Structure 1
Amino acid sequence: MHRSGAVMAWNVFKFCTALRGLGSIMILLVLGVVVVTYYAVVVVNYGPSLYAAGGPGGVDSFTAFAVLILFHLLLGMLLWSYFSVVLTDPGSVPSSWRPVIDEEMGDTVPLTGSEFGGSMGLKQLTVHPDQPNPGVRYCRKCNHLKPPRCHHCSVCGRCVLKMDHHCVWVVNCVGALNYKFFLLFLLYTFLETTLVTLSLLPHFIAFFNDEEIPGTPGSLASTFLAFVLNLAFALSVLGFLIMHISLVAGNTTTIEAYEKKTTTKWRYDLGRKKNFEQVFGTYKKYWFIPAYSEEDLRKMPVLQGLNYPSKPDLDAQEF
């Protein structure tokens, strides 16, 4: 039995190592799709349409100009959001963090000073993480205390603040400090891929109607490939976008939605408006860019991933 458990642990470790190794490959794959799409839309189709028969100022030229402007705008926002997710640390547990109350379990009794007053108190908690009610959550893998809504990521090998999931596409965990950027990445990916799908649809239809299409076999292949890839991404990303919007509306994460018991109440659900503000900030002019206002960063502790307002009147046993 012991040997079987060791083999299972080894297999899981190898799986997590493999996911970490996908990092640069996934980034190159995303950039590859962008390059193919850019070539098909700008270089092959709508760039030349600006100076098609009718000249600049014609109807076809105006349509091409509008498509190109919108395409570049959405592409810029998509890449900005994407690299914000990739390069932003989702949030880790500060070494100096100590809880005042057990926020995760709803325990309103303050922890005594002896529990965290010295190294002996902390050592006792470390040695006995399975005691019935130690007053805090504890990570056996990281060997430290866990803030509310914090979870351990086996791929990253650490605890992540308000962890939602580990995303291989962004080569990073999605957590407290980059969840907004991830949502914007989904939004702009859906808008961009939808625009590309619609703009290349006439060329795709002409391809199957045996109409005479100008261009080399390579340019025709790039148009076909870009259409198929963007259609597939638009359909798949739409499902993820709808799911995450519903999660934000209820102030929960993917992990919490999976782990929490079925209930009509959730202690962190403060109403749709406040729930969205906890992710996007209070200034709506910042909602659609991967950044926060200085005032929100200063006045909203929730954006730091350690403290979350909750409904104190709800019994913790309901969750």
Structure 2
Amino acid sequence: MYRSAGVAMAWNVFRFCTALRGLGSIMILLVLAIVGVTYYAVVLCNYGPALLTGGGTTLAAFAVLLLFHFLLAMLLWSYFSVVFTDPGSVPPNWNLDFDVERGETAPLATSELNSQQSVALGNTANPRVRYCRKCNQLKPPRCHHCSVCGRCVLKMDHHCVWVVNCVGALNYKYFLLFLFYTFLETTLVTLSLLPHFIAFFSDVEIPGSPAALATTFLTFVLNLAFSLSVFGFMIMHISLVSANTTTIESYEKKTTPHWIYDLGRKRNFAQVFGNDRKYWFIPAYSEEDLRRIPALQGLDYPVRPDFDGMASNEMFIR
């Protein structure tokens, strides 16, 4: 009976993951549709025509449209960077010998690799290396298997249906920028359409066709909802970056006060955004940061200098 229930549950989960894979371009089209509706309401229905009014109204409309287009460009750049950037896959035949006390890595010899595989599969006396049974390969530190993508992802944070991709080591910064610019853009749209929304419920006669008024109303509601929800999501990820952890690691309760990857807020920030300030707000990295910060490659992560290897080994490999 219990075996049947377990099989049924596994089957349901598999069907759910398959359905998420099938969303694919539908979610991208949905995002573009929301952007299109917003663009129509803000630019074509309201602030575009206001440019011809003259005086202060024209200046205000120009300022809104200039900021709107800038934020929209940065939003779409960040969004498609997340969509089309591989979050990080385990290199073929990858193996690792990890010294938790020094935070150093070195390849294992073939004989050692076979020994480590047996340790990872059964012997927990020295569980230095994790093993993925689904991919049939060793897993680097902070790597997790994604059931939707069907592979192991480096420093996996979560699978996001909105970007139709996993968020991991190589595109996490781009995802955070996507949240940041989405919040700014939706907040701008909400504030700029607020007078029109208020006028919608007043006795004032509003110029424009019924379709334009309905689109303005819908755009205001959508952007207000997205602004509030993205703000909460963004605050959560700011706390994760400041502690140098991920959504999965926080749910697994690995991030204790002695979390081995917590290097301090400044260094934790650099592990995601790099040190070059010119690149902090664009979805790209400088060549120097890619060369000098191994964590940006997703395979090697520095640990706290005061880390007690013996006390934290079990927490790290769990």
Normalised by the length of structure 2, the TM-score is 0.92
**Residue 44 of structure 1: aligned partner:** 45
Correspondence for 2:80 among 79, 83, 107: 83
Supply the distance in 2 between the matched residues of 1:225 and 1:169 (Cα, whole angstroms): 20
Give the whole-Å Cα distance in 1 for the aligned partners of 2:247 and 2:196: 39
**Match for residue 271 of structure 1?**
264
Q: Is the 8 A contact 2:197 2:220 kept in 1?
A: yes
Give % identity: 71
Q: Residue 13 of structure 2 aligns with which residue?
A: 12
Measured after TM superposition, the shift of residue 261 of structure 1 is 4.5
1:122 aligns to 2:114 (yes or no): yes
In the alignment, the residues of structure 1 paired with residue 103 and residue 282 of structure 2 have an alpha-carbon distance, to the nearest angstrom, of 38
* Aligned counterparts of 1:112 and 1:95: Cα–Cα separation in 2: 13
Give the SS at the match of 1:131. Answer: coil
- State which of 58, 61, 72 in structure 1 corresponds to 2:58: 61
**203-212 or 3-12, which moves further after superposition?**
3-12
Q: Tell me: CA distance 1:4–1:68, structure 2 relative to 1, closer, same or farther (3 Å).
A: same
Question: Per the alignment, in what secondary structure is the counterpart of residue 121 of structure 2?
Answer: coil
Matched-pair contact (CA < 8 Å) for 1:139–1:152: yes
Report the counterpart of residue 173 of structure 1 in structure 2.
166
User: Does the 8 A contact of 1:126 with 1:143 survive in 2?
Assistant: no
Look up the equivalent residue of 2:41 and give its one-letter code: A
Distance change >3 Å, CA 108–CA 72, structure 1 → 2:
closer
d(CA) in 2 for partners of 1:177, 1:307 = 13
Residue aligned with 1:166, SS: strand
Whether 1:145 aligns to 2:138 is: yes
Q: RMSD over aligned Cα, in angstroms?
A: 2.1
Q: CA deviation at 1:127?
A: 9.1
Alignment-derived partner of residue 245 in structure 1: 238
The partner residue of 1:309 within 283, 302, 315 is 302
Question: Paired residue for 1:207?
Answer: 200
TM-superposed CA distance for 1:310, in Å, is 0.2
SS at match of 2:98: coil
Structure 2 gaps, min length 5 = none
For the Cα contact (< 8 Å) 2:87–2:172, is it kept in 1?
A: yes
| Superposition deviation, residue 100 in structure 1 | 1.8
Residue aligning to 2:226: 233
3-state secondary structure, aligned to 1:101: strand
Q: Deviations over 1:191-245 (max 9, x none)?
A: 0000000000000000001210011110001100100000000000000111101
Question: Aligned letter for 2:123?
Answer: Q
Partners in 2 of 1:30 and 1:263 — Cα distance?
37
Contact 2:261 2:301 in 1 (8 A): yes
Offset from partner CA, 1:239-270 (integer Å, 9 cap, x none): 01111011101101111111134632211111
Offset of residue 98 of structure 1: 1.3
Q: Is the 8 A contact 1:93 1:147 kept in 2?
A: yes
CA distance in 1, matches of 2:113, 2:234: 45
CA deviation digits over 1:57-109, x for unaligned, max 9?
A: x1000000000000000000000000000000000100132112265xx6989
Are 2:245 and 2:255, in contact at CA under 8 Å, matched by a contact in 1? Answer: no
Q: Could you say if the C-alpha distance between residues 110 and 182 of structure 1 is closer, same or farther in structure 2, counting changes exceeding 3 Å?
A: closer
CA contact (8 A) 1:107 1:135 kept: no
Q: Within 2, Cα distance between the matches of 1:246 and 1:140?
A: 32
Q: Output the CA distance in 2 between the equivalents of 1:178 and 1:124.
A: 30
Q: Which of 52, 65, 90 pairs up with 1:93?
A: 90
**Residues 126 and 144, structure 1, Cα contact 8 Å, conserved in 2:** no
1:93 alignment partner AA: V
- Deviation, 1:22, is 1.3
Does the 8 A contact of 2:87 with 2:171 survive in 1?
Answer: yes
Per-residue deviation, 1:135: 2.6
User: 2: CA distance between counterparts of 1:273 and 1:171?
Assistant: 31
Distance 1:60 1:112, change over 3 A: closer
Contact 2:41 2:212 (8 Å CA) reproduced: yes
CA contact (8 A) 2:159 2:167 kept: yes
Deviation at 1:183, TM superposition (A): 0.2
Q: Secondary structure at the match of 1:32?
A: helix
1:72 to 69, 74, 83: 69
